[in-house]
Amino acid sequence: MINVCDIQIMKPLLAQHGFHFSKAKGQNFLIANWVPERIAEDAGVDETVGVLEIGPGIGPLTQQLCLRAGKVCAVELDKRLEPILDLTVGEFSNLEIVWDDVLKQNIPALVQEKLNGLRPMACANLPYYITSPILTALLEAECFEAVTVMVQKEVALRIAAKPGTADYSAFTVFCQFYGEPEILFDVPAHCFMPQPKVTSAVVMLKIRKELPWEILDKATFFRTVRASFAMRRKKLQNGLAAGFPELGKEGAGQVIASCGLPENVRGETLNIAQFADLSNEIFRRKHSD
């Protein structure tokens, strides 16, 4: 197996194929063996698992996943990488590469077609310019047991944030609605070529099999969350009134009171159970009119 993380091997390999890194495609390739090894290991990949990998690049993580998984399906946008991947991961019979933009894929259908019969997981060193849309698509697919991704450290902190902290956001609630996050480890910038300007971190989201909250309407729940964070420095009442004009300020106050929350509560201090209560109350009011 070619050691693609060894820059003495990687540089001539890329030069031989006239490959130049594309900043626009978020191409920062791993040059430290321990990182892909640890991602594949900590993600819990074994022969019962089918992995969807996004952005294999020249294949450092792909190799480690193929060594452990029942099957790997890797989606890569950049066709220039095909001859290089032929050399670095061509030997693996449990690998299938899909040449496409992952955001154009129907992920549940792809998983069903390519990883049928295996425990589906997603693993990736994500292209950072589209971290949020990819994570959103992976979580909304509702077909994985776990999603383990390398992201900018600041994004990992937002994903795993606790209520009332500066990192806690609507994106935190979105991620934690679907899964339980754990930051596995940090990855310094010198582990990549070219080096990014930021530190990275690997975060694992164990996907919830059942929601621990009763949520009457998912759309109202996420609308409530967005409205609650839209005016961070203002009272929740103002945020809800702006996000649900049909409630008005008085109605927003009544919703907050009937959930047993203080009148001057701020949205960013609420946990998911409290957002669920608020959204259920709003939903009930709208449907009792």
Whose Cβ is closer to ligand SAM: residue 36's or residue 243's? 36
Nearest distance in Å: CB 288, ligand SAM: 44
Looking from the CA of 201 toward its CB, the CA atoms found within 13 Å total 18
Nearest distance in Å: CB 228, ligand SAM: 31
Nearest distance in Å: CB 4, ligand SAM: 8
Q: In this chain, which of 14, 52, 61, 155 binds ligand SAM, going by CB under 6 A? A: 61
Q: In this chain, which of 10, 13, 27, 278 binds ligand SAM, going by CB under 6 A? A: 27
Asked if residue 60 has a cis previous peptide bond (ω within 30° of 0), the answer is no
- Which H or E run includes 186? strand 179-187
Window 119 to 178, contacts with ligand SAM (CB under 6 A): 125, 127, 130
Own/partner long-range contacts of 231-237 (Cβ < 8 Å, ≥24 apart): 231/267, 232/266, 232/267, 232/268, 234/266, 235/263, 235/264, 235/265, 235/266, 236/261, 236/265, 236/266, 236/267, 236/270, 237/263
Q: Of 85-93, 97-105, 235-243, 263-271, which segment contacts ligand SAM by CB under 6 A? A: 97-105
Looking from the CA of 271 toward its CB, the CA atoms found within 13 Å total 4
Q: In this chain, which of 29, 171, 178, 275 binds ligand SAM, going by CB under 6 A? A: 29
Q: Which two tokens stand for residue 162?
A: 């606790």
Query: What distance in Å separates the CA atoms of residue 120 and residue 122, rounded to the nearest whole number?
Result: 7
- Other CB atoms closer than 10 Å to residue 148's CB: what's the count? 23
- Other CB atoms closer than 10 Å to residue 121's CB: what's the count? 24
Whose Cβ is closer to ligand SAM: residue 29's or residue 275's? 29
Q: Which residue is nearest to ligand SAM (CB)?
A: 55
Whose Cβ is closer to ligand SAM: residue 125's or residue 172's? 125
Q: Of 6-14, 51-59, 89-97, 204-212, which segment contacts ligand SAM by CB under 6 A? A: 51-59
Whose Cβ is closer to ligand SAM: residue 58's or residue 170's? 58
Residue ranges in contact with ligand SAM by CB under 6 A: 25-30, 54-57, 60-61, 75-78, 101-103, 125, 127, 130
